[in-house]
Structure 1
């Protein structure tokens, strides 16, 4: 049975950075592996008046780092067509429809259409409306739309956007991409939990003390300054990536490992997020903004950033899940720019033994022998693998204990040959599998949780800047855990 997928991709924003850095290389890798062969075509649209020939040069340039065979690249690029397009002009969709139908017949695409909206969200509704009104959607194949974040600026704007999209597409045709859900080790969370009885048996408030999720970035805002200053770390990272990871960590076991059943359990987990009052926001969430340090500018001095900006470049918070499995277990989250290093990790901290029979070493005069907590660490990036910290006897006389660490990392060859996030997710979209995409109810509950925090911050002026580049954020982030008798597993 052939693994070839058949579809016409229409990329709105085909000249943009996302298309060139992620989409074209990912489609090429699917082409190299035989998932895309003869029966596919791509229409790139944007305002720029490019020719097909120039577009092919852009495609070729975007693949330069892959060191691919030149003839293979040329054959791949020949499937790409460019149309100068104003997404607000209905007449341009007439031309788009004509080209789509021509390519459908030329490549035998069976009416299968994937529309990728790699543009600002304020155009999503307009594009969807015209796709419907100009009859570009087909009746004899599938129609799917892939959209990038941000999906709204708060719950109300997200709902308006969703209503606009679902006026044209059914919910099962909408693929809201969150590239973290395409990462190898994020997808491994379900395998760890539900494929190993040792963990699933312990995966609850009887045995787990706390869980820590850290998404750390070493760089500043770079070329995303305009977007970032209107968003901040809370909206940019917590509302989507972090709460998606949290839902995978906390959901109950699905009846089957299917899109529908997993979505049901993720939504239940996000519905269980404890909503905070304004006073509780102040106690449970910390925000920060980086200062200057040597050659590094402070955030407010970055290009295109307002000199009096109160945008958060760091967030740390304590999240509680009010259900039977997780009641009483704090989930600590943090993310930020200009931190100590670039990495993503999850630390599951288990409770210490109720009774410590090794609390005194008879070979020492007055020593106590406190047991360290067991910690399961899931390293998402840049290293992919697991660490398990457990207690063992020290070598030598006496019975003092010491923490030891068991490690497993994916080998470099397997990691190098593993598909990247966008490649995985584009392949899933071709298969009609939205398991690793975000569904509307997940988006809605995430925004409702985040909106309370953002509203409180909007009404209170922070004392910024409050952390130095190269650290793990403001001191208040450490204090947040200390109040509960805990500490971050990862320290700078």
Structure 2
């Protein structure tokens, strides 16, 4: 059991809290990772009773026997985030204990909420730690992110700031660095002379649904590339540090993000019917799909493409990294496939002789199923990261240097971004287009 800790979530009526945060905290509770007397204060702007609030929670979660006891630890509190006087009432809950404040809100509230918490002394650590989790996106562009960071750095020590990217909590994302670090034959081949290109794909079947209001001001570039995909690029291309302590890993990732070079090989799209989604502007040119080529401008990866593809309302739901090794002859290329979701694991495609008297070569797959080894309820990505917040472990959280560099790159892309192509929902419309552009060198 971890040390005593209480939670306060701002933005409790949003999808993130209902679908990710509450289930993650419930999972930690069931696994005995939270103290018996923990409190979870759910703060929203709507006037609701706790029972009314819980009606929108996943029924499968509320049906579990443990949820009956878990519910006793919850309190719903209505307030206006922007009114300083409303924060005075929080003193009723804020006992002298360890507290995690989770800002599951739009970035425009980050400065407001942190300022008011500071005004009433709620961030003082004399009686226990006070940590604030800032949900992605951290700002809406580089200028905005810089302004937010300057503000919170005046009232918080860096040790109190947790800039979260839940993708870093996924098992196979964590496995990228460890697979490289503890398999010498892989790391010996981890450079431009052996690897032809990388392919990073995050494909979603669903559209924007009730996130349209947020998504229309963000788009695929800011929602997925600036954080999730650039972080994966950094983990793939960074030099292995001498130590895997948080500060060293963050420093190495930051170096890579400063070296990302945006190529002009860029495709953006928007699915048919996006303009009809509630909360989307009638003339919106927000992209729901992006495919792009980036390079890491250093000696190790000179001229090695990193192809990034992500989109909504596509044919399939999956996420993976494919490492394409250079071909040595006319046989099939060797691939290292890191499957992130829905099935977690690693596949290695190699060439081997077919059984029999001939010397015919076949491409075979060595398959390691990571998710098959799970036992019982595994913590979600958010669950792992929340536990790290409690423990003060920042290994899987982004530093300001990382965010600064990634926003610089996105701002450059925004300047060259073309108008989106319209595509049919649940199709693989982009594949032929990308083949024509020469993205795939081999069949």
Same fold (TM over 0.5): yes
Residues 258-280 of structure 1 show CA distances to partners (whole Å, capped at 9, x for unaligned) of 11111111111111112x4xxx5
Q: Is 1:123 the counterpart of 2:123 in the alignment?
A: no
Q: Distance in 2 between matches of 1:88 and 1:80?
A: 23
- Does structure 1 conserve the Cα–Cα contact (< 8 Å) formed by 2:197 and 2:306? yes
Shift of 1:202: 0.7
Note closer, same or farther for the CA distance 1:226–1:14 as it changes in structure 2 (3 Å cut).
closer
Shift of 1:417: 2.7
Q: Distance in 1 between matches of 2:339 and 2:424?
A: 25
Q: Is 1:62 the counterpart of 2:62 in the alignment?
A: no
Q: Distance in 2 between matches of 1:389 and 1:398?
A: 21
Query: Once structures 1 and 2 are overlaid, which stretch shifts more, 338-347 or 57-66?
Result: 57-66
Q: Distance in 1 between matches of 2:215 and 2:150?
A: 25
Shift of 1:73: 2.4
State which of 458, 476, 481 in structure 1 corresponds to 2:438: 481
Question: Match of 2:39, SS?
Answer: strand
Q: Is 1:445 the counterpart of 2:402 in the alignment?
A: no
Note closer, same or farther for the CA distance 1:321–1:245 as it changes in structure 2 (3 Å cut).
same
* Structure 1 partner of 2:354: 394
* Larger gyration radius, structure 1 or structure 2: 1
Q: Distance in 1 between matches of 2:179 and 2:420?
A: 41
Q: How does 1:324-339 map to 2 (within 5 A)?
A: 324-339=299-314
Note closer, same or farther for the CA distance 1:474–1:378 as it changes in structure 2 (3 Å cut).
closer
* Structure 2 partner of 1:362: none
Note closer, same or farther for the CA distance 1:472–1:415 as it changes in structure 2 (3 Å cut).
farther
Shift of 1:173: 1.3
Give RMSD over aligned pairs: 2.1
Note closer, same or farther for the CA distance 1:450–1:463 as it changes in structure 2 (3 Å cut).
closer
Gaps of 5+ in 2: none
TM-score when normalising by structure 2: 0.94
- Does structure 2 conserve the Cα–Cα contact (< 8 Å) formed by 1:128 and 1:164? no
* Structure 2 partner of 1:251: 238
Q: When the two structures are aligned, how many residues end up with a matched partner?
A: 442
Q: Is 1:152 the counterpart of 2:139 in the alignment?
A: yes
Q: How does 1:163-312 map to 2 (within 5 A)?
A: 163-274=150-261, 276=262, 280-281=263-264, 284-291=265-272, 298-312=273-287
Note closer, same or farther for the CA distance 1:95–1:445 as it changes in structure 2 (3 Å cut).
same
Q: Distance in 1 between matches of 2:89 and 2:323?
A: 54
Shift of 1:378: 0.4
- Does structure 1 conserve the Cα–Cα contact (< 8 Å) formed by 2:28 and 2:379? no
- Does structure 2 conserve the Cα–Cα contact (< 8 Å) formed by 1:314 and 1:473? no
- Does structure 2 conserve the Cα–Cα contact (< 8 Å) formed by 1:24 and 1:63? no
Q: Distance in 2 between matches of 1:375 and 1:472?
A: 24
Query: Once structures 1 and 2 are overlaid, which stretch shifts more, 35-44 or 471-480?
Result: 471-480
Question: Match of 1:435, SS?
Answer: coil
- Does structure 1 conserve the Cα–Cα contact (< 8 Å) formed by 2:286 and 2:420? no
Q: Distance in 1 between matches of 2:376 and 2:319?
A: 18
Gaps of 5+ in 1: 105-110, 292-297, 357-369
State which of 36, 41, 46 in structure 1 corresponds to 2:44: 46
Query: Once structures 1 and 2 are overlaid, which stretch shifts more, 330-339 or 164-173?
Result: 164-173
Residues 440-490 of structure 1 show CA distances to partners (whole Å, capped at 9, x for unaligned) of 111110110111111222xx5x263156632152643223334xx625x8x
* Structure 1 partner of 2:83: 89
Q: Distance in 1 between matches of 2:300 and 2:282?
A: 46
* Structure 1 partner of 2:369: 409
Note closer, same or farther for the CA distance 1:413–1:465 as it changes in structure 2 (3 Å cut).
same
Q: Distance in 1 between matches of 2:371 and 2:285?
A: 43
Shift of 1:178: 1.0
- Does structure 2 conserve the Cα–Cα contact (< 8 Å) formed by 1:59 and 1:77? no
Note closer, same or farther for the CA distance 1:311–1:415 as it changes in structure 2 (3 Å cut).
farther
Q: How does 1:305-454 map to 2 (within 5 A)?
A: 305-353=280-328, 356=329, 370-412=330-372, 414=374, 417-454=377-414
Question: Match of 2:271, SS?
Answer: coil
